[in-house]
Amino acid sequence: MAEIKDVGRLPADYAANGFYGQDILSVSQFDKEKLAYIFGVAHEMRVLVERFGSADLLQGKILANLFYEPSTRTSSSFMAAMLRLGGQVIPINNVQYSSVTKGESLPDTVRTLESYADVIVLRHPEVGAAATAAHYARKPVINAGDGVGEHPTQALLDLFTIVEDLGSVQNLRVAMVGDLKYGRTVHSLTKLLVNYDVTFDFVSPEILAMPEDVLDVVRRHGHSFRVTDSVHEVIGDADVLYVTRVQKERFTDLAQYDRVRDHYVVDEELMTKAKPHMIVMHPLPRVNEIAYGVDDDPRAAYFRQMRNGMYIRMALLAAVLGKA
Ligand code: NCD
């Protein structure tokens, strides 16, 4: 068991969930039991929001939302999650207006924010930044994306959406399409799905292939997978088509980006080749990968994913602060 961080005096309604006072840095922290717990709480959060809009579970608690990279969904869903549970938020979405611009280091910024807040959500361009922040912080740190590394809370909401939409994660064929090299969401989701009965198709241009270390995790867990650059080859077999944006900001050579940017477009024509119960997922933002004509197809799950993100983040905040 990891060290329990300082989240205030143990609450009277404390639930021994294994998350109390913990950092959330990687999907490797989650086994099936922990996933079931978070998904159960997320489900309750949905009911709570639909019935009452908000609650006072985290009243008196403060979240510092620290984003060194652009974000719409992750940052606002963490904010909404905290506000709907009765807590408050210090939003730092524009680090250029903070002392980061004056040269303040990540450890010092984190030490500052934890003097005011009970939990820190961090997005940062460097792999391992969340772990570094967690090392220095006495308060829990939640990784909201560390460069091309991981995006654990996105993977949780992705898996939650699969379970909600398809009923279970049994005997599924999951195709991941697009920028598998730089896309942190597919790294985290793959590492989470290896715990289940899943076969993978990794679909990308060769220069954007899934990194070997992630493929090693898949191999180690004994899953079979196919690697191809053709979405047509996999579309008929897929139960889940997980589409990603080519991560322009990670390229050093923009000419190379231009060569691969519009490699895949999921449109109505392609959807006619898919199973009737397949779901199309995307962490968003989309650039050109999914045509707007697909949005009204009931198989388009990306807007449901977005809503689920708030419920999952409500569950995580409550669990970490000991109130779930
Ligand atoms: C993703 C991210 O930041 O990694 N966005 C998100 O959090 N929903 C995906 C992306 O930016 O392409």
Q: Does residue 7 contact residue 118 with C-beta atoms inside 8 Å? A: yes
Domains and CATH numbers, the chain: 14-150+309-320 (3.40.50.1370), 152-306 (3.40.50.1370)
Q: Whose alpha carbon is nearest atom 11 of ligand 1?
A: 285
User: For a substitution probing ligand 1, which of 160, 284, 288 has the most ligand atoms within 8 Å of its CB?
Assistant: 284
Q: Does residue 62 contact residue 87 with C-beta atoms inside 8 Å? A: yes
Start-to-end CA distance of the chain, whole Å, equals: 19
Ligand 1, closest atom to CA 245? 12
Whole-prediction pTM value?
Answer: 0.96
d(C-alpha 74, C-alpha 60), whole Å: 22
Q: Dump pLDDT digits (tens) for 74-117.
A: 999 999 999 999 999 999 988 877 888 888 899 999 999 999 99
Q: Whose alpha carbon is nearest atom 7 of ligand 1?
A: 74
Quote the ligand 1 centre to 218 CA distance (angstroms).
22
Q: Dump pLDDT digits (tens) for 175-204.
A: 999 999 999 999 999 999 999 999 999 999
Quote the ligand 1 centre to 244 CA distance (angstroms).
9
Q: Dump pLDDT digits (tens) for 26-46.
A: 999 999 999 999 999 999 999
The yes-or-no verdict on residue 11 having pLDDT over 80 is no
pLDDT, residue 103, reads 85
Question: Mind telling me the catalytic residues?
Answer: 73-74, 102, 123, 151
3-state secondary structure of 226: strand
